[in-house]
Structure 1
């Protein structure tokens, strides 16, 4: 007896999407295992064929049209109320309208299509004109795929299999709906053919989040999904709106994260139990990544004016994130704490997201140390201690840079987070060197070689940034390009000449021009570099004063002046 052609069971969603033959192997089929994607099987499928009431609605419309035609033939002059079988306007409207049970089960796009097919008929609108239209299943699937392809690499906090598990539920919690709308808004913003949907999705996500805040006593108002949704809304506002609004929105996410105590989840949880159960570990890892994404965002947003942080390091008891492969495939792994990773600099390379966290922390510590710099004349001992600590931090940055260094042609740099991490490591060298110059320390030409080389490396790393889609670029990449451009303008290399320097500056401007299509920050940096008085503009505050205007007003340029920050 021949074996059946089709294997028993259901095919996974990834094979169905790619139209591949799934071998039904569990927990992961061969296709998903080879491609490194999550293998998810949807056990609940909607029945095929027309939806309930669809055929009935079409029959009613046909009968109504026949009555209208008969009425026209018997009443050629168009006098109302004459002729047998003629229907009044109210009767026509009632018959042409789809039945109530059909309206409840069909999407708004389908109702609109049926209604518009009879433009000459006096059909009343089935929904208010200001009500948002529902999204088709195909568009939803496209938005989900776009999110994990283009948004997740720069905001790696969601577990893909966990998301698809709850996203297909009929009755989702309000916090889950908020998160899904925020994801779709970011995904639409990262797509050329769905750009028209991003503003509508953003408004819906923010409106539902604000409605969720009105019932702050509800558990969903302070859930993990609510914090994740506010973080994505912050990223959207930072890219496409204004710094003030994004900064205030970030505060909501930070407060929910503090309320949920995500900064100490590894003190409250039993590590042994977490490691033994992959599902529990994946949930805990998603919480860690949510906290660390907010942690980095807090430092990047506040570093311009040295504002106080919302997420501090004193009570921090959360492991650094594991690698992306371990996270998505649910392979439990124990990482290290932040300060242990900093002290171990130069010995072991961390996962990409963890490296970004460490480098961001080192850069912020440089700001903190500069803020408390003692006077060399009144406190010579404290000044000596300060310089030793600064030198130690500078050494850690250089050690991490040696581990991360890759040529610009390396395929590993196709990962947007890895590319940003390498740019951040080189920019951190420039950052620490600027502190030394700002404190009027004695520098020789040899000490300038290391930061000058790092500036050239950022120029080289800008090339793969230009070649790839600007949708995948990290939102803070323009900050690092601007830092390198300012360093090159203020530190010309006498050996390379002015033509070589100008060529490198043009390459940085070219990268900013590519990024400005999806990042307002890149456009502001580009205006600064092309301005004749950019040196004078660098001393201005991005807020332009203490009064925060209405968010609908035009925003002044927002920029990080790294060269004159210290």
Structure 2
């Protein structure tokens, strides 16, 4: 019997979620599901609007490769326009001696300065390279604001770098300048010479604040980056920026190859600026700072004599503009005025310390007299300075006279030790004058005991504020600790040159001998800690206390043969620092130390 088929069983295939076809425009606008009924969907029928369906729809986005092709066309058009502008400008200047430096051939002393639009100067073209560069530094590029610098491309046209601290496009710089500048920068990478790109500039800035600022804390970082990215930089600010890069390159193995070229460029720029600033009533602070930083670089990497001359230029500029650096009677300074005054104050104190430390090593007369120190306050703590927190500090005389004074910063402690050793130098020079006129009197002993009492007191305060562990770990504190003990040796050498063994003062000499031998041993111990520090972070004037200590060991053999090994350790440390500082060669040669 045939089986019957139940026709009531439904298919197991699930129905479609929606009817085939495209949704109407009204449903798309309202973002609801369209039932796709024809000729009108349910929503349009109930709303009384016409039901429109658009088919087919175009694909989303541009075609593949369209944007790249468009960018290439824009770059080509911009290059053509720029060539036309240059040709027009050349035609206008046919009757003038001009030189145009484009981004791809801005090479000075082996350095190619990239990321800058063409710069044009009007000046007679000569065959002497030094004269040409000197004249080039005098020129002013088109578009530079009044007082702006032609030494730094950032002061003429904005850079394309988005990095904080460098120029960004602003008024007067079009999109074509930016794009073409980037393309020229990429082309210059394949040229001969060395490129100072934006990344290198940022790295040199960071190196300066990481390794140099600790012993020359004269710059406010945010203020520096503010004017560094400005197109209206003064020439003094541009010189300061190059001096910072020069010193930063000298404390970096990576930039040793550009250090000499940066130095030559910076020095020529400063000399040119100085020659054109003759007769000006007031000198910009950045010019003084640039000379000080350049002098430190010359002490380290060039020549002691040249560094001393450069430092002297900064000293004289400060003396010529003394009222800028001295503090007035009004202490209610605004925040902006206080930061500016603090930078000038710190600039003076850096010059003051450099004057005394190098003068002691060279036994030369000092430039700044301590008599005027009560017109300038001591620098504020570093954290207050960088955070722009106005702080009223005391004067140097108050810091030295106070028995329980708490030093607010290593910079202040550096000023104090420079003052005390400066007094010892003045004491020595005065005693020489007395000997010439046969006028030796009790004044010598009074001065000597007075300076020695201050020396012992300040060394005790220093030890309380900076324990041994801190002295050995911080390069700045390590240098100050060495200088305190070097002052003890200096006072002993002065005493030894005056007192004769047959005189009744022999007991005093024995006491100073004991103090000096302890100080010399402590300097040797501190010298051994130098090997535990990064060589690039060692204070650049560290060879001064080391060489004075070596002089002490060489001059006084009667102290015993046990100091031969300590002299050898000092000599080895000085040999190690010769690759970082030429101050090791000042005074007696290393050959005398090794004998």
> 1:481 aligns to what?
546
Whole-angstrom CA distance in 1 between matches of 2:239 and 2:74: 35
The counterpart of 2:299, out of the listed 235, 238, 248, is: 238
The counterpart of 1:170, out of the listed 231, 246, 266, is: 231
With over 3 angstroms needed to count, the CA separation of the structure-2 counterparts of 1:202 and 1:377, relative to structure 1, is: closer
Instruction: Map 1:334-373; keep pairs closer than 5 Å.
Output: 334-345=392-403, 347-373=405-431
Task: Establish whether residue 404 from structure 1 lines up as the match of residue 462 from structure 2.
Answer: yes
1:2-23 CA distance string (max 9 Å, x none): xxxxxxxxxxxxxxxxxxxxxx
Whole-angstrom CA distance in 2 between matches of 1:248 and 1:164: 29
Report deviation, 1:363. 1.6
With over 3 angstroms needed to count, the CA separation of the structure-2 counterparts of 1:254 and 1:227, relative to structure 1, is: same
Whole-angstrom CA distance in 2 between matches of 1:262 and 1:472: 34
Whole-angstrom CA distance in 2 between matches of 1:453 and 1:402: 15
With over 3 angstroms needed to count, the CA separation of the structure-2 counterparts of 1:501 and 1:282, relative to structure 1, is: same
Report deviation, 1:178. 0.7
Report deviation, 1:221. 7.6
Whole-angstrom CA distance in 1 between matches of 2:524 and 2:244: 32
1:382-437 CA distance string (max 9 Å, x none): 71133112101111111111122389961454332211111111111111111111
With over 3 angstroms needed to count, the CA separation of the structure-2 counterparts of 1:531 and 1:311, relative to structure 1, is: closer
Task: Establish whether residue 250 from structure 1 lines up as the match of residue 307 from structure 2.
Answer: no
SS at match of 2:326: helix
Instruction: Map 1:203-352; keep pairs closer than 5 Å.
Output: 203-216=264-277, 222-261=283-322, 264-267=325-328, 270-272=330-332, 274=333, 277-304=334-361, 306-316=363-373, 317-345=375-403, 347-352=405-410
CA contact (8 A) 2:361 2:548 kept: no
Task: Establish whether residue 423 from structure 1 lines up as the match of residue 457 from structure 2.
Answer: no
> 1:114 aligns to what?
187
> 2:491 aligns to what?
432
With over 3 angstroms needed to count, the CA separation of the structure-2 counterparts of 1:490 and 1:56, relative to structure 1, is: same
Task: Establish whether residue 508 from structure 1 lines up as the match of residue 566 from structure 2.
Answer: no
Report deviation, 1:203. 1.8
SS at match of 1:191: coil
Whole-angstrom CA distance in 2 between matches of 1:408 and 1:466: 19
Whole-angstrom CA distance in 2 between matches of 1:305 and 1:113: 49
CA contact (8 A) 1:147 1:183 kept: yes
Report deviation, 1:168. 1.6
With over 3 angstroms needed to count, the CA separation of the structure-2 counterparts of 1:148 and 1:54, relative to structure 1, is: farther
Whole-angstrom CA distance in 2 between matches of 1:133 and 1:315: 46
1:469-489 CA distance string (max 9 Å, x none): 222222221111122223234
Report deviation, 1:318. 0.3
Whole-angstrom CA distance in 2 between matches of 1:378 and 1:112: 69
Q: Unaligned 5+ residue runs, structure 2?
A: 1-66, 80-116, 119-173
Whole-angstrom CA distance in 2 between matches of 1:525 and 1:375: 25
Report deviation, 1:229. 0.6
With over 3 angstroms needed to count, the CA separation of the structure-2 counterparts of 1:512 and 1:375, relative to structure 1, is: closer
Whole-angstrom CA distance in 1 between matches of 2:397 and 2:245: 36
The counterpart of 1:453, out of the listed 518, 521, 524, is: 518
Whole-angstrom CA distance in 2 between matches of 1:169 and 1:377: 58
With over 3 angstroms needed to count, the CA separation of the structure-2 counterparts of 1:409 and 1:302, relative to structure 1, is: closer
Report deviation, 1:493. 8.2
CA contact (8 A) 1:188 1:194 kept: yes
Q: Unaligned 5+ residue runs, structure 1?
A: 1-48, 62-98, 118-124, 534-566
TM-score (structure 2 length as normaliser) = 0.64
SS at match of 1:146: helix
With over 3 angstroms needed to count, the CA separation of the structure-2 counterparts of 1:111 and 1:422, relative to structure 1, is: same
1:352-407 CA distance string (max 9 Å, x none): 21222222222222222232337699988x71133112101111111111122389
Report deviation, 1:313. 3.0
1:184-234 CA distance string (max 9 Å, x none): 010011111111111121122122212212321697981001110111111
CA contact (8 A) 1:263 1:318 kept: no
CA contact (8 A) 1:359 1:424 kept: yes
CA contact (8 A) 1:408 1:460 kept: no
SS at match of 2:231: coil
CA contact (8 A) 1:222 1:260 kept: yes
With over 3 angstroms needed to count, the CA separation of the structure-2 counterparts of 1:211 and 1:108, relative to structure 1, is: farther
Whole-angstrom CA distance in 2 between matches of 1:531 and 1:359: 26
Whole-angstrom CA distance in 1 between matches of 2:342 and 2:189: 49
1:292-322 CA distance string (max 9 Å, x none): 1111222233335544433333334101112
> 1:146 aligns to what?
207
Instruction: Map 1:464-543; keep pairs closer than 5 Å.
Output: 464-491=529-556, 498=561, 500-523=562-585, 527-529=589-591
> 2:152 aligns to what?
none
Whole-angstrom CA distance in 2 between matches of 1:343 and 1:115: 60
CA contact (8 A) 1:175 1:223 kept: yes
> 1:186 aligns to what?
247
Of structures 1 and 2, the larger Rg is shown by: 2
Report deviation, 1:525. 6.8
With over 3 angstroms needed to count, the CA separation of the structure-2 counterparts of 1:262 and 1:466, relative to structure 1, is: farther
Report deviation, 1:55. 6.1
SS at match of 2:213: helix
